[in-house]
């Protein structure tokens, strides 16, 4: 036995409105997943801003000896070639972190409770290390090295 469904004008309007809302919701979610950072693409003439922090991790060895290590967080940034990049680095732990971005002329110091800002153009593909001179190796609670990957 076949059934015939009749949809009246008012019901059709409700169905169309529900479908439209569902499409808008999916579009909004997909759009928010594509961003990654709240920044303007450098291709559009803007500056992409990355927020980083200096953090300390502590622990103990099996015999109870205290351990600490400093790091950049996030430890790796992915940047598009040709972008203008602004790093805003906030010092959470440690008094002072003088740093260099290897392969560039960028130098700076991050101090506890302060934000340091550096801006540069990522003109060349490659992996650039952000190296803290205070924490160069395990003997100095490091190495404190981050990476900027330019694709």
Average pLDDT, the chain: 83
User: Which class would CATH give 42-150?
Assistant: mainly beta
| Whether the Cβ atoms of residue 72 and residue 61 lie closer than 8 Å to each other | no
Listed by start position, the domains of the chain span: 42-150
Sites in the chain below the pLDDT cut of 70 = 1-2, 4-9, 12, 14, 16-45
Sign of the CA dihedral running 129, 54, 111, 60: negative
Predicted confidence at residue 141, as pLDDT, reads 86
Neighbouring CB atoms inside 10 A of 28's CB total 10
pTM, two decimals, is 0.68
Predicted confidence at residue 39, as pLDDT, reads 38
């Amino acid at each position: 036995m076949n059934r015939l469904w009749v949809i009246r004008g008012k019901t059709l309007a409700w169905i169309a409105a529900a479908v439209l809302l569902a499409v808008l919701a999916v579009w909004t979610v997909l759009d928010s997943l594509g961003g990654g950072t709240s920044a303007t693409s450098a291709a559009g003439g803007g500056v992409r801003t990355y927020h980083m922090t200096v953090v300390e991790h502590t622990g103990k060895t099996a015999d109870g000896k205290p351990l600490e290590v400093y790091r950049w967080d996030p430890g790796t940034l992915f940047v598009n070639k040709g972008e203008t990049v602004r790093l805003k680095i906030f010092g959470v732990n440690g008094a002072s972190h003088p740093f260099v971005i290897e392969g560039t002329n960028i130098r700076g110091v991050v101090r506890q409770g302060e934000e340091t800002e550096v801006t540069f153009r990522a003109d060349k593909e490659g992996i650039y290390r952000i190296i803290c001179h205070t924490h160069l190796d395990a003997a100095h609670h490091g190495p404190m090295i981050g990476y900027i990957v330019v694709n």
